[in-house]
Amino acid sequence: MMIEVFLEEQSHKSKREVGKVHLLLMEGRAKREEGVLMGKTDNFQNGYVKVQEVPLFEGGMIVGSR
């Protein structure tokens, strides 16, 4: 019973975030899907971004991609 209540509330909370813009601190590649990076949003939720190329940074400047 408690788990169902939690999951329902979490679902409502997640739906309220759809369409909003957040900062995303990239932490690395997603484990389950190729070409997706994952990180934490500014409200501490997991965020995922599909990427075509990953920029390479050196000294704060983009120096290439892979």
Instruction: Say which DSSP state 1 is in.
Output: -
- Look at residue 12 and tell me if it is in a domain: no
- Look at residue 15 and tell me if it is in a domain: no
- Look at residue 11 and tell me if it is in a domain: no
Provide the domain count of the chain.
1
- Look at residue 31 and tell me if it is in a domain: yes
Q: Tell which residue, 3, 15, 2, has the closest CA to residue 45.
A: 15
- Look at residue 7 and tell me if it is in a domain: no
- Look at residue 53 and tell me if it is in a domain: yes
42 close to 22: Cβ distance less than 8 angstroms: yes
pLDDT (tens digit, 0 to 9) for every residue of the chain, 66 residues total? 899 999 999 899 888 888 888 888 989 889 988 888 899 999 888 888 888 776 677 776 666 665
Global pTM exceeds 0.85: no
Range of the domain at 41: 22-66
pLDDT score for 14: 85
The Cα 23–Cα 42 span in angstroms is 5
